[in-house]
Chain A
C-alpha cells in the first residue's frame, strides 16, 4: 500500500521548483502506473512518503512540436496520445508501434513517456525506440528557484538498471528526436501476455532504402541487457550495402553477444536474431520502391537460413 499525507500537483515548472525546495520527503510521480504496483507485497511492500509530487500536469511537460528535421515530445505525453496521434504515426512510425505493445488502452491513458524512460528498466519499451530516433533528453535542473535546461543524449542519460543521470530535484522535461517521416519502421516484442507484457526481447528498427541499398538503418534492443542499446556493428555493416538476403542474414549474427540476461540466454539469442531479420523485412515491406523484390529475399532466407514468415 502506498501511503502519503499530501499529494501535490504543480501546474508550472516554477511552481514545481518552489515546491521541491520547500517540502521534504517527497517522491515524484507522473502516470503512477509503475509506482502503485511497486508499493505492494512482494515488491516494496507498504511504502510511506510524506509528500507526493505529481508532475504530469506541469504545462511545460505537455507538448508536441513538429518541425521538418526535429520532433519534440513533452515528458508527460501519454502513451495513448503517442498511439493515436496522426502526426506521430506519420513522422515517428516506430512510436505508435511501441505503444500498441505497451500495456493496454487503459494504462496507456495514464502512463507517460517520461516515466517509462526515467524508470530505466532493462525491459523498457520506449528506450530502444528513442535510441533509434537519436533522441535527446531535455532535463530541468533545479538550482534554487531557477530551472536550468540541460540536454543529454539518451546514452548519457540512462546509466544502468534503474539508474539515470538526474539529481534529486531534477526532472525530465521532454525529448527531442529526429523526424523520420521518410523512414520505415518496425518494432518486434515478445513476452508472456499480449496486454501488459514485460519484454523478454524487443527490437526497434528504423531504416531508409535508396537504390536497393540501405541508406540508413538504426536497430536498438531491450530486454536482453542491462541498458537498452543500439546495435552499431549491425548498422555499420548494412549501411551502404545492397538489400539482400545474404547481407541481412550476416548482419543478424554480428552482435548477438549483446545478450546479458540472467535467464534463457539461448532462447533470447534465437529470438533476437529472428527479430533483427524480421524487423528489417517488415520495415522493407512498407517500402514502396518497385525495385525491391522482397519475396525473392524472403524465399532465399527461408531456403538457406531461417523461417521468416509468420
Chain B
C-alpha cells in the first residue's frame, strides 16, 4: 500500500510522518494519531460528527483527503479543552445538558466554537444557520442552542462566568431539577471512548459479506481466493457455529450467519478477519457465492396467505397475533350516531443513531469470551451467546460500551455473534465498525404497518365502539416483533375509555429488512391511527379536538383495553395544561382558515418558516 509523507501542525504540534496515501483527514486523526474525539457518523459529509478546523476554517474531515491538507494547521476537539479545563462552549454544553448520547457532541462543540469565532455576537438565527451541518438525534437541538447562547454571553461578558456553577440542587425531588450530568465533561471534550474508538494489541478487523438477494438458497460459498489474500487471517460462515445457531429476543429464529438460505438483502453470510479494514474489504470482493433464487415475499398481506414460507419450520408466516376483545362491538356500533372508517399506513424507519454499530471481541487471559459493544440488552445477549458458542455462562462476558444513540436499534444482537466466532477462532481481538450504509441496510427498522380502523361515536363525541386491525411487516426475522405486537395491542387504542373494543395486531415474516424495537415500541403506529381518527371525528362532529379527547379520556376507576382497573388517570390534567400552554385556538379541526391564531404570540412558538437566511450571516461578509 502506498504511503504519503505528511508535515503538518495538529493542535499546535508539528507532526512529520507517513500515512496511507488514500487516508482521509478523519482516518489519519483517528487511526494514526488516536485523536478519537473526531467521530465518523456517516462518512459522507451529512452529519458533522467529524468537524475539525483546517487553517481556521471548519470543515468535515470525512470529505477531506489527508494529502489535501498537507502543510496545514489542524485543530481538533482535543485542542479546545479537557474535562478539568473546559472552554466556555464546553462548560455551557455541560450546564444545559446538551450531551445525551454524546456522539454528535464533539462535532457540535466544534461547530459552536466556529460560529462564535466567526462572530462572537452571533444571533440565535446565525447560530442555527452555522450549525446546520451538524445533526443531533437525541436532544432536539434546544439544549444545544441554549448552550451556545450562554457561552456567547459569557464570552461577551454579558453573563457572569459563575453561571456555569448554577446547577439546581435537588431538595425534595429530583423532578424538574437541573442535576449535573456527570458524564458531560467526557462527552463535550471528546474524551469518551465509544466502541469504534477502542484499539487493542494485535487486533484484527472484521468485514462482512452480505446478501444482495432477498430470498435465495445458498448453493455454495467459495472462500479459497479470499483466504489466499495476504493479510487475511480467517473467515467464518454458518458452519463455524459450535452451539445452537438460533437466537432472537422473543422467537429464536435467527442464525449468526445465513444458514442454507438468505432471507433479506443485507443478511450476513461470511465474516472475514484481516490485518486491516482495506484487506478485509478486498477479501470480500474475492468471495464467490452461488445462489438459487427463491420466490420472494415483500407485502405483508401476501405473507398471510402462506404460499411462500420465509421460515419453513414454522408452516406459517405469522410471527405473532395479539387479539384483544372487550365488550361487544356490534352493540357498540349499533348505538353510534356516526361511524367513521379509514385506513392508515406507516413506513419503515431507521433509528439513525449517530454512532454506527461497532464492537470489539477478545478472549481474555482466563479464556472468557468478551464482547464490548453498545448493546442495549447485554444480559440477554450474554445468555444467547453462551448457547450459540456452546460455552458455560461464566465463560461469556458482555461489556456495554457507551451507546452513541440507540432508540431501540441496539437491542437486537446483530453482529456480536460474528465477532465472537472470529475471536474464538483466532484468539485475537477482533474489531468491527459498520459503515452508515451497511448499518442502514442490515439492522432492524421500525415496523411498517397497515391499519384498518372503524370507530363509532355519539354526537357528543363519546366513543361507543372501536375495531382496529393492524398488520405489521416483521421482515425476515422475529427480532422484537412479538413484543411490538403486544404493546401495539395494549396501547394502540389510546388513553380512552372504550366500552366495546376489538383489536388485532398481527406481525408477519417477509423478505424485507427485519423490523425490531424502536422507541415507543409499536404504540406509535397504532396511536397515529387512533389520534388521526379522533381528529377526523372532531371534524365530522364539529367538536374541538381537545373536547372530543376529554370526553373519552381515561378516568379513575375505568377499565383499560385489557381490563385493568385504573387507580389514577392524569390524561385530563395533561390536556388542560397543554391547552393552556399552547394558547389553543378553539374549534373543530377544520374550522381555521389559512392562518392559525395560536402561533407567534410572545410566549408561544413561531410558525414554521422556510427560506434562506442570507441576511443573518451578514456579519461575516468580506472579513
B610 / chain A contacts, CB cutoff of 8 Å: 190, 310
| A40-B44, A86-B621, A310-B609 known; A107-B63 Cβ under 8 A | yes
A13-21, A31-39, A251-259 - the one binding chain B: A31-39
The answer to whether the Cβ of A109 comes within 8 Å of any Cβ in the partner chain is yes
The answer to whether the Cβ of B48 comes within 8 Å of any Cβ in the partner chain is yes
For A3, A32, A56, A189, the residue with the greatest tally of chain B CB atoms inside 10 Å of its CB is A3
| A32-B65, A33-B63, A100-B612 known; A107-B21 Cβ under 8 A | no
Contact between B281 and A101 (Cβ–Cβ < 8 Å)?
A: no
**What separation, in Å, do the CA atoms of A52 and B2 have in the docked complex?**
13
Q: Mark B436-467, 1 if CB is under 8 A from A, else 0.
A: 01100100000000000000000000000000
**What separation, in Å, do the CA atoms of A77 and B44 have in the docked complex?**
22
The answer to whether the Cβ of B366 comes within 8 Å of any Cβ in the partner chain is no
Output the nearest chain B residue to A31 by Cβ-Cβ distance.
B63
A4-12, A145-153, A223-231 - the one binding chain B: A4-12
- Distance in Å from the Cβ of A71 to the closest Cβ of chain B? 15
Contact between B59 and A109 (Cβ–Cβ < 8 Å)?
A: yes
**What separation, in Å, do the CA atoms of A100 and B51 have in the docked complex?**
19
| A7-B4, A89-B621 known; A40-B435 Cβ under 8 A | yes
B51 / chain A contacts, CB cutoff of 8 Å: 106
Contact between A41 and B45 (Cβ–Cβ < 8 Å)?
A: no
- Distance in Å from the Cβ of A39 to the closest Cβ of chain B? 10
For A54, A87, A105, A189, the residue with the greatest tally of chain B CB atoms inside 10 Å of its CB is A105
B325 / chain A contacts, CB cutoff of 8 Å: none
The answer to whether the Cβ of A187 comes within 8 Å of any Cβ in the partner chain is yes
The answer to whether the Cβ of B614 comes within 8 Å of any Cβ in the partner chain is yes
A194 / chain B contacts, CB cutoff of 8 Å: 132
- Distance in Å from the Cβ of A112 to the closest Cβ of chain B? 12
**What separation, in Å, do the CA atoms of A86 and B48 have in the docked complex?**
28
Contact between A37 and B44 (Cβ–Cβ < 8 Å)?
A: yes
Contact between A195 and B132 (Cβ–Cβ < 8 Å)?
A: yes
Contact between B133 and A104 (Cβ–Cβ < 8 Å)?
A: yes
**What separation, in Å, do the CA atoms of A46 and B609 have in the docked complex?**
40
B68 / chain A contacts, CB cutoff of 8 Å: 7, 9, 32, 54, 56
Contact between A310 and B611 (Cβ–Cβ < 8 Å)?
A: yes
Contact between A36 and B24 (Cβ–Cβ < 8 Å)?
A: yes
Contact between B621 and A196 (Cβ–Cβ < 8 Å)?
A: no
| A97-B614, A107-B45 known; A307-B594 Cβ under 8 A | yes
A41 / chain B contacts, CB cutoff of 8 Å: 435, 437-438, 441
Total A-B contacts with CB atoms under 8 angstroms apart: 121
For A6, A42, A85, A106, the residue with the greatest tally of chain B CB atoms inside 10 Å of its CB is A106
The answer to whether the Cβ of B67 comes within 8 Å of any Cβ in the partner chain is yes
Number of interface residues of B (CB under 8 A): 46
**What separation, in Å, do the CA atoms of A3 and B435 have in the docked complex?**
16
The answer to whether the Cβ of A103 comes within 8 Å of any Cβ in the partner chain is yes
Q: Mark A193-219, 1 if CB is under 8 A from B, else 0.
A: 011100000000000000000000000
The A interface is mostly helix, strand or loop, or mixed, namely mixed
Contact between B437 and A42 (Cβ–Cβ < 8 Å)?
A: yes
Q: Mark B608-623, 1 if CB is under 8 A from A, else 0.
A: 0111111001001111
- Distance in Å from the Cβ of B43 to the closest Cβ of chain A? 7
| A4-B22, A97-B612, A105-B130 known; A84-B63 Cβ under 8 A | no
Q: Mark A109-138, 1 if CB is under 8 A from B, else 0.
A: 110000000000000000000000000000
Contact between A3 and B278 (Cβ–Cβ < 8 Å)?
A: yes
The answer to whether the Cβ of B57 comes within 8 Å of any Cβ in the partner chain is yes
| A100-B612, A101-B612 known; A109-B622 Cβ under 8 A | no
Contact between A109 and B133 (Cβ–Cβ < 8 Å)?
A: no
- Distance in Å from the Cβ of A32 to the closest Cβ of chain B? 6
For B22, B51, B67, B278, the residue with the greatest tally of chain A CB atoms inside 10 Å of its CB is B22
**What separation, in Å, do the CA atoms of A269 and B617 have in the docked complex?**
32
Output the nearest chain A residue to B609 by Cβ-Cβ distance.
A310
The answer to whether the Cβ of B60 comes within 8 Å of any Cβ in the partner chain is yes
A40 / chain B contacts, CB cutoff of 8 Å: 43-44, 435, 437
**What separation, in Å, do the CA atoms of A42 and B612 have in the docked complex?**
31
Contact between B132 and A32 (Cβ–Cβ < 8 Å)?
A: no
Output the nearest chain A residue to B60 by Cβ-Cβ distance.
A106
Contact between A36 and B62 (Cβ–Cβ < 8 Å)?
A: yes
Partner pick for B612 among A46, A89, A105, A187, CB 8 A cutoff? A187
Q: Interface residue tally of chain A, by bracket?
A: 35 or more
The answer to whether the Cβ of A2 comes within 8 Å of any Cβ in the partner chain is yes
Q: Mark A67-105, 1 if CB is under 8 A from B, else 0.
A: 000000000000010011111010000001100110111
The answer to whether the Cβ of B58 comes within 8 Å of any Cβ in the partner chain is yes
The answer to whether the Cβ of A232 comes within 8 Å of any Cβ in the partner chain is no
Partner pick for A84 among B62, B111, B114, B622, CB 8 A cutoff? B622
The answer to whether the Cβ of A1 comes within 8 Å of any Cβ in the partner chain is yes
**What separation, in Å, do the CA atoms of A107 and B57 have in the docked complex?**
11
- Distance in Å from the Cβ of A250 to the closest Cβ of chain B? 24
Within 18-33 of A, Cβ neighbours of B (below 8 Å) are at 29, 32-33
A310 / chain B contacts, CB cutoff of 8 Å: 609-611
Partner pick for B614 among A29, A86, A96, A105, CB 8 A cutoff? A96
Contact between A32 and B612 (Cβ–Cβ < 8 Å)?
A: no
| A54-B68, A84-B623 known; A1-B133 Cβ under 8 A | no
The answer to whether the Cβ of B289 comes within 8 Å of any Cβ in the partner chain is no
- Distance in Å from the Cβ of B36 to the closest Cβ of chain A? 19
**What separation, in Å, do the CA atoms of A44 and B2 have in the docked complex?**
22
Contact between B59 and A36 (Cβ–Cβ < 8 Å)?
A: no
**What separation, in Å, do the CA atoms of A123 and B617 have in the docked complex?**
25
A52 / chain B contacts, CB cutoff of 8 Å: 65, 67
The answer to whether the Cβ of B64 comes within 8 Å of any Cβ in the partner chain is yes
Contact between B45 and A109 (Cβ–Cβ < 8 Å)?
A: no
Output the nearest chain B residue to A87 by Cβ-Cβ distance.
B622
Contact between B622 and A85 (Cβ–Cβ < 8 Å)?
A: yes
The answer to whether the Cβ of B46 comes within 8 Å of any Cβ in the partner chain is yes
**What separation, in Å, do the CA atoms of A65 and B130 have in the docked complex?**
28
Partner pick for B48 among A42, A84, A87, A106, CB 8 A cutoff? A106
- Distance in Å from the Cβ of B587 to the closest Cβ of chain A? 22
| A7-B68, A54-B68, A187-B612 known; A37-B63 Cβ under 8 A | yes
For A29, A89, A110, the residue with the greatest tally of chain B CB atoms inside 10 Å of its CB is A110
- Distance in Å from the Cβ of B131 to the closest Cβ of chain A? 9
Within 1-59 of B, Cβ neighbours of A (below 8 Å) are at 2, 4, 21-22, 24, 43-46, 48, 51, 57-59
**What separation, in Å, do the CA atoms of A2 and B20 have in the docked complex?**
12
A1 / chain B contacts, CB cutoff of 8 Å: 22, 278, 281
| A41-B438, A84-B617, A84-B620 known; A5-B44 Cβ under 8 A | no
**What separation, in Å, do the CA atoms of A41 and B133 have in the docked complex?**
22
**What separation, in Å, do the CA atoms of A85 and B59 have in the docked complex?**
19
Output the nearest chain B residue to A96 by Cβ-Cβ distance.
B614
Contact between A9 and B45 (Cβ–Cβ < 8 Å)?
A: no
B594 / chain A contacts, CB cutoff of 8 Å: 307
A96 / chain B contacts, CB cutoff of 8 Å: 614
A36 / chain B contacts, CB cutoff of 8 Å: 24, 44-45, 62-65
Known: A5-B21, A106-B45. 18 other contacts (CB 8 A): A3-B22, A5-B2, A36-B45, A37-B63, A40-B437, A46-B281, A46-B285, A83-B617, A84-B622, A89-B621, A96-B614, A101-B612, A103-B45, A104-B132, A106-B133, A107-B45, A107-B63, A195-B133
9 contacts between A and B (CB under 8 A): A7-B21, A36-B65, A40-B437, A96-B614, A101-B612, A110-B59, A110-B60, A187-B612, A195-B132
Question: 8 closest pairs, A vs B, by CB?
Answer: A104-B133, A7-B67, A86-B622, A195-B132, A37-B44, A5-B2, A41-B437, A100-B612
The interface of chain A, by Cβ under 8 A from chain B, is 1-7, 9, 29, 32-33, 36-37, 40-42, 46, 52, 54, 56, 80, 83-87, 89, 96-97, 100-101, 103-107, 109-110, 187, 189-190, 194-196, 307, 310
